[in-house]
Amino acid sequence: MDNMQDLPSYKYYIDPQTSHRPEVFVTFLNVRPETGHEITGILFSVTEEELYMLDKRERNYARTEVSKAISIPVPGRVWVYEGTKAARERYTRGLSENKACISADYYHYVQDCFLQLGQSHAQAYLDSTDSAEVPIRQLHRINL
């Protein structure tokens, strides 16, 4: 996300040491199809209303059905959220301008969630996730 853009009901980040809003592109996890690889994640059931709320929250992602790619039998449809074209373009722009970064809180939160599932899940997540291409930076999130 472009940290210099205000979007209604969204967020931005400040540097906790200076309280200034840095000119950065804050990046998040994304998935991409790759033959012979698996995504390590969590599968959970949601209602239609919850799915609608997820669609609203995940505004930088598009919901894509992956039911046929799941290796275990699951009743119903299975979705994954993958970065929209616009989100990927912002990432590319931030990368080319050397302004892309990852919020340290977000980075560690995701790892901690997998650790709570157990060491084997945490290791599977690490094994299926590319190393960060951009700096991990201390930022403080401000919700609008």
This prediction has a pTM of 0.84
Nearest Cα residue to 122 out of 133, 139, 134, 109: 109
Which pair of structure tokens corresponds to residue 69? 């790619």
Taking all residues of the chain, what is their mean pLDDT, rounded to a whole number?
92
Q: Which helix (H) or strand (E) holds 68?
A: none
Residues 12 and 3: their CA atoms lie apart, in Å, by: 6
Helix axes 104-117, 119-127, angle to 10 degrees: 130
Going by their DSSP bridges, the two strands 136-137 and 140-143 should be labelled as unpaired
Q: What pLDDT, in 10s, does the model give residues 74-83?
A: 999 999 999 9
Q: What pLDDT shows up at residue 98?
A: 96
Lowest mean pLDDT among 35-44, 58-67, 76-85, 130-139: 35-44
Q: What pLDDT, in 10s, does the model give residues 84-103?
A: 999 999 999 999 999 999 99
Q: Which residue has the higher pLDDT, 112 or 37?
A: 112
User: How many CB atoms neighbour CB 83 within 10 A?
Assistant: 20
Q: Over the Cα atoms of the chain, what is R_g?
A: 16
Q: Which residue has the higher pLDDT, 47 or 8?
A: 47
Which pair of structure tokens corresponds to residue 104? 């340290």
Residues 14 and 137: their CA atoms lie apart, in Å, by: 11
